[in-house]
Amino acid sequence: MARTKVEQHQSEAIGDAGYVTPYPYLEKLQEKMEERLAKRVPATGRFCGFCYGRLRDTDTECPFCAHAIAAAGTVNEIPQPVLRAYKARKDTEARWVYGMGFVGLIVASVLFIVLELWGPGVLGNPATGLAVLILGGYVLAQFFGTLIGAQIGFRSGSKKRDLLWGEYLAQRAQELPPQP
């Protein structure tokens, strides 16, 4: 089936992970926010009043969301609900990577048992089984965790983050009605 230009363009933007965030600046900020969550950077500073990206003194336009600083204003701390949204993405991603990595180890263990019980000839040799368990376990854990788990986690975590951010935006709009 022929795909439209828009679909083609979209799938390029999606890349391997298969999810397009409606808020591209959140993806740009994810790593920075994870540094903040890990307390590797100071909690206070000068942040964009719209997206809470950290600004340099010389910025007149936010490098993350492209809002003019004069219009968006600045805050000196990132609100907790915003940090929680980024944490949701990070935690979900980590759970999928480790969870699927564990699945890979279980598959290798099952393979080991099958070989020990029913493997004919050299396949039934304990040395073969051990190699399958150790090397296979490593490869399968990488495959399931780092490849499959990371992709599912990226999608699922990004959706959670974006949903929380959307709710936060709606709430913020209610609390601070835009000035006429």
DSSP 120-153: -GGGGSHHHHHHIIIIIHHHHHIIIIIIIIHHHH
Min. distance of Cβ 67 from Zn ion in angstroms?
A: 5
**C-beta separation of 140 from 107 below 8 A:** yes
Min. distance of Cβ 45 from Zn ion in angstroms?
A: 13
> 3-class DSSP state for residue 76?
strand
Q: Is 133 in the site for Zn ion (CB under 5 A)?
A: no
Q: Which is nearer to Zn ion, 12 or 57 (CB)?
A: 57
Q: Is 65 in the site for Zn ion (CB under 5 A)?
A: yes
**C-beta separation of 63 from 110 below 8 A:** no
Q: Is 86 in the site for Zn ion (CB under 5 A)?
A: no
Where does this chain touch Zn ion (CB under 5 A) — which range of 54-62, 86-94, 103-111, 126-134?
54-62
Number of residues that bind Zn ion (CB under 5 A): 7
Q: Is 50 in the site for Zn ion (CB under 5 A)?
A: yes
d(CA 98, CA 119): 30
Q: Is 37 exposed, middle or buried (0-12, 13-18, 19+ CB in 10 A)?
A: middle
Question: Binding Zn ion by CB under 5 A: which of 64, 96, 144, 165?
Answer: 64
Question: Binding Zn ion by CB under 5 A: which of 29, 62, 78, 85?
Answer: 62
**C-beta separation of 114 from 124 below 8 A:** no
Where does this chain touch Zn ion (CB under 5 A) — which range of 44-52, 121-129, 133-141, 150-158?
44-52
Which residues in this chain contact Zn ion in the complex, by CB under 5 A? 48, 50-51, 53, 62, 64-65
